[in-house]
Structure 1
């Protein structure tokens, strides 16, 4: 399993907490192979992706694009059996939005970005947050993983 983190925006931040959290989550979820790509970007790129793929002309904090399923007309082909040969997907995180959320939540930027990365990977693993129950489950699960992966923790 490889985690690739690409920074497309000017703010520098430590990536170790995010990487530890993603590894812990994938291990806990039983996903041992396949790659994850994290793209740290700005509001403009995330807004463009959000408009193109979700029909929402506004920035958001995190977007996930799964590579486990490929739509073919009206048929969906499940590629999960090829797990070891495929990338799990891509997660785009808007750093300006993450900065605003971190400040509002009185968290560090690294903590917020680790949470958003885990949240995005949860989507790649099939979790959904469209319902209140799904949202609460993902929120709880995300923070459990982030706190367990906190620097200095021996959980990972």
Structure 2
């Protein structure tokens, strides 16, 4: 079996950010996909700045606003999941402050949020968003209780 560190990669575009304890997070993400009964081929997380993610949001999604995450599913339907998840460290910092949450917890919420998108969860309607939050909370609780 491939190790989580082989199929899940973290990349850093944002200067001054270093993800500590990343191997534990990668292992947990692999467990998340197994619990959701999804086969994972490969997954790249790219930690970036607001401006970098805004350009992606504009170029690929035609959205002209800042966001904390953009998720791209790269696999064909019915094949193991392959994806890229872009996360703005600037947005994580601001959201953590505004929500009175720790940076670490907010970072993991967004990391899990992207993985859940790749597992098929959506957040466009109120009902979808409610389920997404429930699943984020489930995995946050499991991750931080270990």
The number of residues matched between the two structures is: 139
CA distance in 2, matches of 1:18, 1:102: 19
Q: Match for residue 14 of structure 2?
A: 9
Structure of greater relative contact order (alpha carbons < 8 Å, 6+ residues apart): 1
What per-residue deviation string (whole Å, max 9, x for no partner) do you get for residues 47-95 of structure 1?
01111122111110010000123xxxxxxxx2x2x32xxx520110000
Which range moves more in the overlay, 107-116 or 19-28? 19-28
Q: Which runs of 5+ in 1 are unaligned?
A: 70-77
RMSD: 1.8
Change (3 A) 1:101 1:5: same
Distance apart, 1:23 and its partner CA: 2.4
Distance apart, 1:18 and its partner CA: 3.8
Q: Match for residue 94 of structure 2?
A: 100
Distance apart, 1:20 and its partner CA: 4.5
1:43 paired to 2:50:
yes
Q: Which runs of 5+ in 2 are unaligned?
A: none
Q: Match for residue 115 of structure 1?
A: 109
Which range moves more in the overlay, 108-117 or 11-20? 11-20
Distance apart, 1:15 and its partner CA: 4.4
TM-score scaled by length of structure 2: 0.85
Q: Match for residue 38 of structure 2?
A: 31
